């Protein structure tokens, strides 16, 4: 089966996920602080170098996940290649990622905030911490105002700014959403779009995207086309 072409649309955020060939640590091993710190630095630096605006991220022991808006069509592909090169020279030799990275276009207004919640809660879902803000290698502490660092390299998506008029309002509102979590249906929609490398959004969003992307943005219907059974008169 031929590979699906990468989906891209101008000014449209993408959810990206890539698994490592080898996990940085096993389930019963200590947290690999130094490799995760290096990956965080590489993501920041490579995103800046390739003009990719990162809105949220989660670096886990077995994968890299982030939501970003590339300002140029090949931005995310070049970002991933750059991280792979650094990884291969500093952490291991040979192949870095398990297959191609997966990505999904995300509708602003409807799905950006749920995707950020999904991202920031990944360490909790994977059993790495009890509270999302306690994982230093994600954007959760930044989005909730608990980041102790004097600054961050993240760029807020406009949807995040709609959460309140001040940073404190936005952080408190997002913290509430993080604590509430997502419904099973929301998680299923996000993960289905990411796994299939489709677009995540409502019918209007999908219809507006269709003319400006390089391939279809939703799965084809299964089975053969229905025959016209109308009898000729």
Q: Are 49 and 83 in contact (CB under 8 A)?
A: no
Q: Is the pLDDT of residue 65 over 70?
A: yes
Q: Are 57 and 43 in contact (CB under 8 A)?
A: yes
The confidence score (pLDDT) of residue 140 equals 94
Q: Using the Cα atoms of residue 143, residue 145, residue 147 and residue 151 in order, give the sign of their dihedral.
A: positive
Could you tell me what percent of the chain has a pLDDT over 70? 88
Q: Which domains can be identified in the chain, with CATH numbers?
A: 14-210 (3.30.70.1290)
Torsion on CA atoms 129, 134, 137, 139, rounded to nearest 10:
120
Angle at CA 129, nearest 5°, toward 194 and 104? 10
Rounded-to-integer distance, Cα 26 and Cα 96, Å: 17
Q: Are 105 and 12 in contact (CB under 8 A)?
A: yes
Average pLDDT over residues 59-86: 94
pLDDT digits (tens, 9 = 90+) for 109-168: 999 999 999 999 999 999 999 999 999 999 999 999 987 565 567 899 999 999 999 999
Identify which of 196, 129, 194, 47 has the alpha carbon closest to the alpha carbon of residue 56. Answer: 47
- Select the more confidently predicted residue: 131 or 229: 131
Counting every residue, how long is the chain? 233
Q: Are 70 and 13 in contact (CB under 8 A)?
A: no
107, HSE (Cβ side, Cα atoms, 13 Å) = 19
What Rg value do the Cα atoms of the chain yield, rounded? 19
- Select the more confidently predicted residue: 165 or 217: 165
CA distances to 57, 96, 132, 225 from 26, rounded to whole Å, are 21, 17, 20, 47
Q: Are 138 and 120 in contact (CB under 8 A)?
A: yes
Mean pLDDT across the chain: 88
Rounded-to-integer distance, Cα 45 and Cα 216, Å: 32
Q: Is the pLDDT of residue 215 over 90?
A: no
Q: Are 104 and 7 in contact (CB under 8 A)?
A: yes
Rounded-to-integer distance, Cα 20 and Cα 86, Å: 13
């Amino acid at each position: 089966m031929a590979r699906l072409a990468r989906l891209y649309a101008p000014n449209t955020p993408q959810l990206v996920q890539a698994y490592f060939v080898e996990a940085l640590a096993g389930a019963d091993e200590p947290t690999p602080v130094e490799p995760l710190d290096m990956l965080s630095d590489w993501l920041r630096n490579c995103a800046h170098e390739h003009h990719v605006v990162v809105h949220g991220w989660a670096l886990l022991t077995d994968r890299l996940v982030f939501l970003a808006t590339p300002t140029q069509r090949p931005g995310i592909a070049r970002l991933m290649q750059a991280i792979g090169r650094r990884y291969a020279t500093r952490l291991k030799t040979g192949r870095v990622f398990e297959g191609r990275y997966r990505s999904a276009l995300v509708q602003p207004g409807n799905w950006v905030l749920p995707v950020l919640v999904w991202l920031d809660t990944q360490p909790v879902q994977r059993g790495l911490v009890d509270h999302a803000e306690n994982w230093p290698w994600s954007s959760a502490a930044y989005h909730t105002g608990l980041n102790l660092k004097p600054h961050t390299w993240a760029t807020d998506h406009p949807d995040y700014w709609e959460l309140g008029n001040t940073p404190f309002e936005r952080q408190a509102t997002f913290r509430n959403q993080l604590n509430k979590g997502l419904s099973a249906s929301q998680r299923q929609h996000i993960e289905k779009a990411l796994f299939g490398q489709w677009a995540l959004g409502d019918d209007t969003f999908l219809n507006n995207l269709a003319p400006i992307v390089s391939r279809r943005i939703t799965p084809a219907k299964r089975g053969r086309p229905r025959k016209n059974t109308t009898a000729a008169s």
